[in-house]
Amino acid sequence: MAAPLTTDEFVNRVVSVGIAERLDVNRAIGELGVGEVPLVDVIDQLQRRGLITTLQTEKVLRGDRIGYFYGDYKVLYLIGAGTFARVYRAEKDGEVFAVKVLRKRFRDEPKELEQFLREGKMGLKLKHPNIVRIIDVVADRHNPFLVMEFIEGQTLRELVKIRGKLPIDLSLKLIYEIAQGLAFAAELGISHRDLKLSNVLISSSGVAKLVDFGLAALADRGNPEVVADCPNARAIDYAALERGTNVRKDDPRSDVFFAGNMLYHMLAGTPALTETRDRMARLNITRFQDIRPVQDYVPDIPGLVNQLLLNLMEFNPELRVQSCKAMVSAIKGVMEDLKRGNHGPVEHTATKVNAEDVGDDQIITNEGEGYIVMFVESKTDLQNAIRERLKARGYKVLIIANPERALARFVDAIEPPADCVIFGASELGNDALDAYNKFAENEDTKDIPAVMLVDPRQQHIVQKAVRGSNRLLLPLPLSIKNLRVALIKLLAKTQQRPAGTY
């Protein structure tokens, strides 16, 4: 067993590893008076004077010769430790930074090292107020590290643990900031793939900042058939959801789902998805389907907020909010509606919006709550655009590419599958026209409103389309504002469906 250090030996080590200047150390010790000073008193004095930290003291006492600096950054404290990396508070030239260091056992693992450095390189692109900024990437294979801005504050998980359920307005503010960061990353083709409360930092000024893009995936748009995998334990939740819903492994809607899970966690004080280390339990797809209603935890949750949650955490990816950008719009709309007093309680008495009140398309309302719209269209980009914009306003949107199959849904139906049908004639042409006219003439569907989107150059379609008080043609390219006005007018006399029945 090594003999205890003497005061002189301790001081010599502090100076030799470079964490303090001998002149400063001697001056601090001199304040304790003359004569032999116990080591414990010397350590206490140096720490109180800010010359050494607790972490540095422990390393000096152990006899460590390295780990006090990463490059020019002097390590002060350990502020976070995960399976793959540690994060330290460090300083350089009087400024404070966070330094993320890959654990030693992974430095000789090419895949882990590549993932770590890729996180850093991606982070250099992600300059956004709601993403923790990466300042430098040092790719030294013996000592790789990332330099990040230091955020004085706490993680979102710590905030929820301390406060329990967060107020609705605060929860929406934080998820809105998180969504803005995700949307910015998505524009660069980057998805987060590890969304959870512990990967969000809340600054001392209350701003949410995303951290840890270690599992971020550059979207592989050229290979949509790639199956979701989970080589990393942290990727299991995403892989399970994507396998269970038959989408590619970097589907951008996965981040939307897990952002919804974070919002649920903030509101309810507990996550929607049961947290477990059991790999098989996490891969079980029913975990994503058997989610307890948030009303069980927040009985007075406004209907708008509940609907937002349902839209974000919809198991079927085709019915989920389709992008992080659309998520930003949806959250913003709910926040603004709540400020205007349109709370829309869970029992579902949605605020009606008059056609003349429809203004800027970016102002989100809940005008569509209680209505189902079927969109018959074969163009994927137009499908997605209409779905996102209408769902953000509370409509449930069904997408069907085949006009005949759309009409078949109404045959012998006990209750109509949709309250209004939109036919797109740009690509479907005469097939859309025939279906639109049959819909107007059939005894079972003639009273159900219908819209046809048609290019003005398709004059043969315009001329042959059946007209009527609940039939409408809208020109392409489409104005979403005009479509919203049309739907409000066409559905004015249609009874809204009760919550939970559509």
Identify the CATH number of the domain in which residue 392 sits: 3.40.50.2300
Domain membership of residue 305 (yes or no) is: yes
Q: Of 83, 114, 149, which marks where a domain is finished?
A: 149
178 & 235 share domain? yes
Residue 10: per-residue pLDDT: 92
195 & 272 share domain? yes
Q: Of 149, 169, 187, which marks where a domain is finished?
A: 149
184 & 317 share domain? yes
Q: Confirm or deny that 100 is annotated as ligand binding.
A: yes
> For 270-288, how does the pLDDT look when each residue is reduced to its tens digit (9 = 90+)?
999 877 777 777 778 888 8
Which whole number is the average pLDDT over 308-312? 92
Tokens of 361: 């398309």
Domain membership of residue 120 (yes or no) is: yes
Segment holding 486, helix H or strand E: helix 480-490
Residue 125: per-residue pLDDT: 86
Q: How many domains does the chain have?
A: 4
120 & 253 share domain? no
**Helix, strand or coil, per DSSP, at residue 309:** helix
> For 323-332, how does the pLDDT look when each residue is reduced to its tens digit (9 = 90+)?
999 999 999 9
Neighbours of 340 (CB within 10 A): 11
53 & 109 share domain? no
Domain membership of residue 361 (yes or no) is: no
> For 392-445, how does the pLDDT look when each residue is reduced to its tens digit (9 = 90+)?
777 889 999 999 999 999 988 888 999 999 999 999 999 999 999 999 999 889
Buried b / exposed e along 391-423 (16+ C-beta atoms within 10 A): bbbbbbbbbbbebeebbeebeeeeebebbbbbb
Confirm if 176 and 321 have CB atoms less than 8 A apart. no
Domain membership of residue 313 (yes or no) is: yes
* Rounded Cα gap, residues 53 and 42, in angstroms: 13
Domain membership of residue 215 (yes or no) is: yes
Residue 472: per-residue pLDDT: 93
Residue 231: per-residue pLDDT: 46
pLDDT grade for 234, boundaries at 50, 70 and 90 = low
H runs (alpha helix) in 220-371: 236-244, 253-268, 279-283, 303-312, 324-339
128 & 168 share domain? no
294 & 164 share domain? yes
158 & 272 share domain? yes
259 & 312 share domain? yes
Confirm if 379 and 403 have CB atoms less than 8 A apart. no
Domain membership of residue 82 (yes or no) is: yes
Closest to 115 measured CA to CA, from 89, 83, 80: 83
Distances (CA, A) of 296 to 28, 259, 304: 59, 20, 16
pLDDT grade for 358, boundaries at 50, 70 and 90 = low
Half-sphere exposure of 69 (CA within 13 A, CB side): 11
Q: Of 298, 320, 339, which marks where a domain is finished?
A: 339
Domain membership of residue 262 (yes or no) is: yes
> Is pLDDT above 60 for 309?
yes
31 & 58 share domain? yes
Residue 220: per-residue pLDDT: 43
* Of 24 and 111, the one with more pLDDT: 24
* Rounded Cα gap, residues 71 and 194, in angstroms: 29
Instruction: Name the residue range of residue 139's domain.
Output: 69-149
Residue 194: per-residue pLDDT: 87
> For 445-494, how does the pLDDT look when each residue is reduced to its tens digit (9 = 90+)?
999 999 999 999 999 999 999 988 899 999 999 888 889 999 999 998 89
Domain membership of residue 475 (yes or no) is: yes
> Is pLDDT above 80 for 499?
no
> For 369-400, how does the pLDDT look when each residue is reduced to its tens digit (9 = 90+)?
889 999 999 998 888 888 878 887 778 899 99
Residue 354: per-residue pLDDT: 53
* Rounded Cα gap, residues 274 and 209, in angstroms: 24
400 & 272 share domain? no
